[in-house]
Amino acid sequence: MWYTRVMKFNRRILPNGIRVITVPMADHPTVTVLVAVEAGSNNESTEQNGISHFLEHMCFKGTLKRPTSLAISREFDRIGAENNAYTSHENTAFYAKSDRRHVSLILEIIADIYQNSTLPEIELEKEKGVIIDEMRSYEDMPSRDIHDVLAKLLYGKQPAGRPIIGTTSTLGVLTRNDLVAYREKFYRTEGTVVVVAGGFDESKIFEEIIQHFGTVERKSGREKIAPPELSAERVALKKKSTDQAHIALALPAFPVFHPLARALKVVMTILGGGMSSRLFQKIREEMGLGYYVYATADLYMSHGYGLIGTGVDPKRVREVIEVILGEMKKIVREGISQGEFDMAKDHLTGALFLELETSDAVAEFFVNQELKSLPLETPNERAEKYKKLSQNDIREAAEILFSPEKIRLALIGPFENTGEFQPLLDSATVGVS
């Protein structure tokens, strides 16, 4: 398969500070152009919570060359291209994917959106309405909403604890001048990354990138985000009349560049990374307590944590929490078998290659490394690093991860107060005895 040959990439820095990564994928039928900036909700003030996401939306409302959102959409639609954008705590990204024949066009359009969006005043209030509907849709999805409840529990009013989308009150007062000022301050060339991945003529693509991005005025500086402090509260509850209670349990650990970051991912995979994982087998298959069960690692530049989530019958929430804490305790006290260890590493490697079958996934793979200031590695190099992990690495990661005093629990369901759940965490003697 082609992805086993994704061993070649080129990284360059333009004179204005924009970082460029090109990833040629021989014979691949599609190509993706992705532009990301180091401007996310972590950069926002309390009063302007949600401005990064609002700006992302408004960038598609017209440019100097394409004065309306319809004009932009028609350009993409006529070639059957996909286009979208996203905002995270740490960055904002704009991308398009098309038939490889149209790489020049989508590169030019994405460059136009990044540089020349007019942010038309007439569109502001309409787009605020769209985003408020987006907020309501999240409210209707407890399995998604639980993540915002957990973030607020973990970090309170700090940027990491605020919703990326903002709130109706903060969104409501944002003006076009606010958007222009925010873009001017944070859309810096030194904080911008351009990635082109897929089928393209490598001998020509860099010249085209220079043509579209090389003339952007240099803006120096990259924002450094301080690590957030963990809030004192240990349990958060959002009361909602639901037939299924949603649980999110966080295990604060360390940032993405920590030497044990990969070991942490292995631990979380063993806990809930697949249908054969400990928690999936215990909670769903053996006890029939919940439909979805997962465990993953959320690692950022300034902080990170292990995350366990599930949806269960509200009457059996306590039982499920006890099961989760029990499995955590077992990993620290009893360790893991060599077979389980090898299987988790193989799972992560196999899932990595499956995820990278498309040009947009490959573009994200590389841009995420660059934005987090990690040394760029190919998929094969990452797979090799998983293979080199030792059982001792897993033990160290598990001991850091399973610190009883740091565990935080968020719930959505028909509950009256947190009192019935607090004792579960208070008695969670997870560490090695």
pLDDT of 429 reads 58
**Range 60-82 average pLDDT:** 98
Query: How many distinct helices (H) and strands (E) make up the chain?
Result: 16, 11
Express each pLDDT in 187-227 by its tens digit: 999 999 999 999 999 889 999 999 999 999 999 888 888 99
Express each pLDDT in 37-62 by its tens digit: 999 999 999 999 999 999 999 999 99
Q: Which of 38, 44, 56, 364 is catalytic?
A: 56
Rounded Cα distance between 294 and 191, Å, is 33
Asked whether residue 252 carries a pLDDT value surpassing 50, the answer given is yes
**Range 20-25 average pLDDT:** 97
C-alpha dist (Å) from residue 349 to 2, 192, 266, 376: 16, 29, 11, 17
Residue 351 structure tokens: 């899932």
For this structure, is 108 an active site residue?
no
Q: What is the mean pLDDT of the chain?
A: 95
**Range 73-96 average pLDDT:** 98
pTM: 0.95
**pLDDT band with cut points at 50, 70 and 90 for residue 425:** confident
**pLDDT band with cut points at 50, 70 and 90 for residue 432:** very low
Rounded Cα distance between 361 and 197, Å, is 9
pLDDT of 433 reads 46
pLDDT of 50 reads 99
**Closest to 360 (Cα-Cα) out of 142, 95, 44, 25:** 95
pLDDT of 285 reads 94
For residues 164 and 41, is the Cβ–Cβ distance under 8 A? yes
Asked whether residue 149 carries a pLDDT value surpassing 80, the answer given is yes
Q: How many CB atoms lie within 10 A of CB 187?
A: 19
Torsion of CA 271, 276, 279, 282, to 10 degrees: -150
pLDDT of 122 reads 98
Q: What are phi and psi of 235, to 5 degrees?
A: -130, 135
Asked whether residue 409 carries a pLDDT value surpassing 80, the answer given is yes
Domains recognised in the chain with CATH numbers:
2-213 (3.30.830.10), 235-426 (3.30.830.10)
Express each pLDDT in 264-300 by its tens digit: 999 999 999 999 999 999 999 999 988 899 999 999 9
Asked whether residue 327 carries a pLDDT value surpassing 70, the answer given is yes
Asked whether residue 78 carries a pLDDT value surpassing 60, the answer given is yes
Rg (CA), the chain: 23
Return the half-sphere exposure (C-beta side, CA atoms, 13 A cut-off) of residue 341.
17
pLDDT of 169 reads 98
Asked whether residue 351 carries a pLDDT value surpassing 90, the answer given is yes
Close Cβ partners of 256 (under 8 Å, ≥ 6 residues apart)? 299, 300, 301, 304, 372, 374
Single-letter amino acid code for the residue at 420: E
pLDDT of 223 reads 82
Cβ burial 298-308 (10 Å sphere, 16+ → b, else e) = bbbbbbbbbbb
Asked whether residue 427 carries a pLDDT value surpassing 80, the answer given is no
Express each pLDDT in 104-116 by its tens digit: 999 999 999 999 9
% of the chain beyond a pLDDT of 70: 97
**pLDDT band with cut points at 50, 70 and 90 for residue 4:** very low
